[in-house]
Each structure stands twice: as structure tokens, then as C-alpha cells.
Amino acid sequence: MLLHSGFINELNDYGPVEVWATSAGNQKFYEAWEKSPARIKEFPEVLAFREFPHNYLRRLNEYAWDFSQRPPSRLSMMRHVRDRNVNPYVRALKAPARLMAVLGMERSFENWLERRLLAYERSPESANRFHLNAPKVLLCTNPFWFTEPAVVAAAKKEGIPTLALIPSWDNLSTKNRMPFKHDGYLVWSEAARSELHQFYPASRGAPVYVVGAPQFDVFFQERFHLSRAAFCKTQGLRADLPIVVYALGSPNFLVETPGALQVAEMVARGELGEIQLLVRPHPIHDNHELAALFGKYGPRVVVQQTGVAGAGVTARFQDQNQITEWVNTFRHADVVVNLSSTVTIDAAILDKPVVNLDFDPAPGQPNQSLIKEINHLWTHFKPVAESGGVWLVNDFAELVIAIKTYLMQPELHREKRRAIAKYVCGYLDGSCGERAARAVITFVEGEKGVKGS
């Protein structure tokens, strides 16, 4: 987002920009950062909160808000995923959290907890940097992660205003709560602004800028576009045959590989006609382990290598080649198959038909109820799944029908796909990076003065 949108260039025209990046410590990726007009520094060291009391108090706070607000996504995840793995001491926090919710104590408790978390020094290195050279504003590009909030805390103690970019459409309704309030927020869309106000009532008094999704700006840049023939050559595919992309989600959440394997077997047997299957692993979790599983289905089934095997998640980085592959995978897909993931939006932006699984493809279907709830209950995905812009399928037989129909009628559901992209992304003009930069500039010039957007 920072390197491949217009964000840094636009902001740098206003004043000097300094970026602290975890990937800057990886020499292979630092070369890409060096081309940026911003000053690049390796991300400062960050320490963990103490398990007790800090993390226990955070879990208590999250339970209290969950029981007060009853967010469908988080309660569903609690039932189906988190309750299976949580230790008994954390589970015991549910009882006092329910009482806090009944008494309406969640806001006052969160305010108290924020003061306590701010008092715990997690990044002395950040504090030293800010003391020597305080910026006009700190933009936190992921306020939900482990590392960035530590830097936010150091900035707050130095009196530096902070802005939070909500980096994805599902974060507000599914992630654990942001530990700190911010002086302003950048969101993708009006829907995201509404969710921010709903789940974080304190944000109603801060400026919220609707800027679009800067990470999708690359879809609109011709420098990343390859011809179909050139792209297929890089992937070992034939340009004259339809390409069905099966995009896998995070293996930490759902086991999706059995579904892709089943489709690969059908492609190899010719059940879908003369087509090719391109399996795209989740970029963060791709350690090049899938090639052996799909190799036997040969030449019509290809597995991409989207990640950097051996590199830690925070050290990973999408270079220009990987971004080119990502963009052209969806530009040249004829149909995209997935299970309730953000690639639905990738496809919708580029007007590619989307088949979305409404069933658990794993043997025994252990997560059938969870998948139904994701598609028909979860805050971020329900409006997309039920929009009519994607084809929900209940089994592999329906999946075959959907793929074949879309290959014959790619224009089917086109207007509703466009509506999905607009609803989620806000803007579809390839200028969201510049818009985000202008929001930062507007905030700096207003210095916490103007409320609203």
C-alpha cells in the first residue's frame, strides 16, 4: 500500500515522511524501500504486555463489549473457534464480563484499562525516537496488530496525535478491540465508518476520513498489467483455455485445501470441460507446501507461490513481481472460487464472476455451521454473500454448475458485482493512496480541530 499507491509521494510533497517497517530489516526487501522518497527505518523493538494482568484485563474488556454489543461475527467466532482453544482462566472472565455489560460498565472500564496499558512501557526505542524527533502525526497502519499499538502508546505519551488506518473491511467486526483511542481514523467506505461508530462509540467525536482501499490502487495501474499470453507464460498455463482461480484463505482459520483438491481432481478428470485451475495460497501463509499435494493433477492444475518461504510473517513484503502476479491472477481469471474471503472483492473490482462456498469442503464438514454463519450472519460478509453478486453453492455438484454457467455467461450478475466493490471499497478510481495522504494532511492542518469528516 505504501510503496505501490500514490500515498507516500502525495504526502512527501507536503512534508518529509518517515516510515518504520518490519520488512526493512530484511535486506532483500530494503532495496525496494530505498526507492521510496520517504526515510525508511527498521521497526523499533516491541515488548509484550504481561500475560497477567494486562492481557487478562484486555480479554475481560473484550468479553464485556461482546456481551454488551452482541456483534454477530465475534459471538459466532467465540462459539465455534475461540471457546475451543481458550484456557480456563480466560473463560472464567465471561461471568464478570456479563455483569459489566448488564451494568453498562464497558466504557468506563475500557477508559481505565487504556490508562493502565499506556503506563506500561512496551517500546522504549520508539519513545527515544519520538523524544529526539517528534512528528506532527503518527499514522498507524494496523491498530489491531501486536506491534503498532506499542508505538502508538509511545506517541501518545509524547503528546503526538495519532491516526489509525483500518486496514481491511472485516477488522472492525472480527478482530480483538483496538487497545487505544485515536485522534482520527481512515476507513475504506461509508459502511466501515458506520461500523467504526457502532463498535467504537468514542470514535464518534473524532474525524473519520473515508478514503477507499489504497491496497487496491495497484489494480488500476498499467505498469502492473500483463497480457494474457505473458501472464500465462509465467504460470505455466495456456492462454487459449479458461482459467478458474481457486483462492485459499488462512489455514489458521478454516481447512480449505480439501475443497481445492476436490476441484483439482474434477479438472483433471475433465468434469469441468477444457479448463485450467490455478490454486492461489494465502500470501501470508504460503510456505510452498501445496505443490506436492497438487502435483499429481498435472498440467491443467497449477499452484502459485505467493509467499516467501522461510521469512517471518512480519518480515514479508510484496515486491513488484508478486504484486504483478496478484493483479494479473484476477485480471485474467475467468471465474474465481473461494470460501468467504477478501478475494471476493478482488474479483468484484475486476468484474470477475465469483463462486463462494456455502458449505464446509473438509471431510466430515466439522465447520459447516460456522461457514453458514460467516455467509449469512457475519457483519462484513453477509451483505456480500446475500447481495446476488456472488454465486453461493451448497456442494460440489452446484459448484460445477456455477463454474460452467459463468464460463458461458461471464456478464451474469455484473451490476451486483459492481455494487459489492463499491459498497466495500468506497472508491474505485485507483487514487485511494493519494486520498489517504490528503486526509492525513487535512488532519495535520486542522490539528484535532474539526470534528467529523
Q: Please tell me the predicted confidence (pLDDT) of residue 316.
A: 53
Examine the pLDDT at 285 and tell me if it is beyond 70: no
**Cα(239)–Cα(163) distance, rounded to whole angstroms?**
45
Q: Facing residues of 209 across strands? A: 186
Catalogue all structural domains in the chain, each as residue range(s) with its CATH number. Answer: 7-47+121-216+431-446 (3.40.50), 51-114 (no CATH), 222-425 (3.40.50.2000)
- What does the pLDDT average to over 65-84? 97
pLDDT tens track for 161-199: 999 999 999 999 999 999 999 999 999 999 999 999 999
26, three cell numbers: 530484511
- What does the pLDDT average to over 80-94? 94
Burial status of residue 286 (CB atoms within 10 A of its CB: 0-12, 13-18, 19 or more) = buried
Of the given ranges (49-53, 90-94, 162-166, 443-447), which has the lowest mean pLDDT?
Answer: 443-447
**Terminal alpha carbon distance of the chain:** 22
Q: Please tell me the predicted confidence (pLDDT) of residue 453.
A: 36
pLDDT tens track for 290-327: 888 999 998 999 999 876 655 555 555 578 899 999 99
**Cα(149)–Cα(58) distance, rounded to whole angstroms?**
13
Examine the pLDDT at 78 and tell me if it is beyond 50: yes
Q: Please tell me the predicted confidence (pLDDT) of residue 451.
A: 36
202, three cell numbers: 468514542
23, 319 Cβ separation under 8 angstroms: no
What rounded mean pLDDT belongs to the chain? 94
Q: Please tell me the predicted confidence (pLDDT) of residue 450.
A: 36
Examine the pLDDT at 333 and tell me if it is beyond 70: yes
Examine the pLDDT at 423 and tell me if it is beyond 60: yes
174, containing H or E segment:
helix 171-174
pTM higher than 0.75 = yes
Q: Please tell me the predicted confidence (pLDDT) of residue 30.
A: 73
- Percent pLDDT > 70 in the chain is 95
